[in-house]
Amino acid sequence: MTPRQRYIETLTFGHPDKVPFAPGGPRESTLANWHKQGLPEGVKWHPYLLETLGIADDPPKLKKVPLGVHFEMMPQFEEKVLEHKDGHSIVQDWKGNICEISDQFDLSYLRAAKDFVTRRWIKCPVASRDDWEQMKARYQVDTPGRFPADFTERAAKIRQRDYVSGYGVIAGPFWQLREWCGFESLCILMVEQPDFVAEMSAFWTDFVVGVLERIVAHVVPDVLFFSEDMAYKAKAMISPAMTRQFCKPSWDRWTAIVRKAGTPLVDVDSDGYVGELIPLWIESGINVTNPMEVAAGNNLVEYRRIYERTMAFRGGVDKRAMAKGGKAIRAELERIEPVIRSGGYIPGCDHGVPSDVSWPNFVEYSRILARMTGWL
């Protein structure tokens, strides 16, 4: 099987030759520790891991071509340090947020999840109707640069792929409105100004629809992936009723477009306890979710019993057991082995691999995982 076929077969409960090997990846601080614990300097950790385990890699034969479509704001805000004192910096990030971070981190840590970085939010870009009107101008489908100049040529190459192709980085409605308004302000608006929240959600839905429709006119990627962090350790951040009101209309429209075009997978990412959200996701046609954090109370064995083949999963291996190693990680993998055997599951760390997971323990965990997924 090609990597693309294997991935789709696994997550659609088909018959893959083996389950994709995806143990999870380190953040910057984790990688720094690994280099002190046996991972040689100057090598890429994943190829070295495969070599250490004795796994023959099975990469795509064709060079991966990125779609190159951007769902982010255009233009972005200027990144700048506004103030520095007492070991902290007050900064403006590319999204227009004003926040405080330790000066051990620079602005690049706010562009991507390079490491686990704590920040304090001071001000978000949409605090009034005037702010909202200005923000909308940054999200136009036809803005130059949103689609690459060679998009048609890229689409033609992607149609011949043997690798998994996605639509790009998309924020779900809750995620995006939180980016604009801030978490607390958004929750207050949902109660005090629900019409305003609905307006913002509808705008975001229409914008994403416009981009998706232009994409599927040329090529149909394999997975629509969107980020929707909206859960705490034991509960969702908003009620099921609010989720139906403010989020589900977006999910419904996006899923309908890509499914009609032929995309087999719609994958939503949310940290925290997602037990209240899975039924709503299934109603919207979402059929994959990750990272399934164990510490938040997600139980894959129970979810598989309840939802059977209506929901596939990625992640779900307790990072705390990975850190302990030995009997703890063996017991954890034995716990989820029935879910691996039942299909619709690509096991891996239930978030970014933290720095308390040592390189020897990560290798031990990966070796057991490789056996369970058919690579050894």
Lookup: tokens for 9: 């077969």
Residue type, 26: P
10-65 per-position pLDDT tens digit: 999 999 999 999 999 999 999 999 999 999 999 999 999 999 999 999 999 999 99
Confidence of residue 118 (pLDDT cuts 50, 70, 90): confident
Average pLDDT across the chain, whole number: 96
Entry pTM: 0.96
Q: What's the gap between Cα 351 and its chain centre?
A: 10
Residues 248-266 have a mean pLDDT of 98
Give just the sign of the alpha carbon dihedral 367, 370, 374, 376.
Answer: negative
62 in Cβ contact with 162 (< 8 Å): yes
Label the pairing between strands 88-92 and 98-102: antiparallel
* pLDDT score at 114: 83
Domains in the chain, ordered, with CATH?
A: 3-74+126-372 (3.20.20.210), 78-124 (no CATH)
Tell me which residue has tokens 């879910």: 339
Residue 106 has pLDDT above 90, yes or no: no
**Can you give the pLDDT at residue 117?**
84
What's the pLDDT at 3?
A: 98
Query: For residues 288 and 285, what is the distance between their CA atoms, to the nearest angstrom?
Result: 9
| Per-residue confidence band for 119, with pLDDT thresholds at 50, 70 and 90 | confident
- Of 116 and 6, the one with more pLDDT: 6
Which is it for strands 119-123 and 98-102: parallel, antiparallel or unpaired? antiparallel
- Which pLDDT score, from 0 to 100, does residue 48 have? 98
Tokens of 307: 């939802």
SS3 of 151, please? Answer: helix
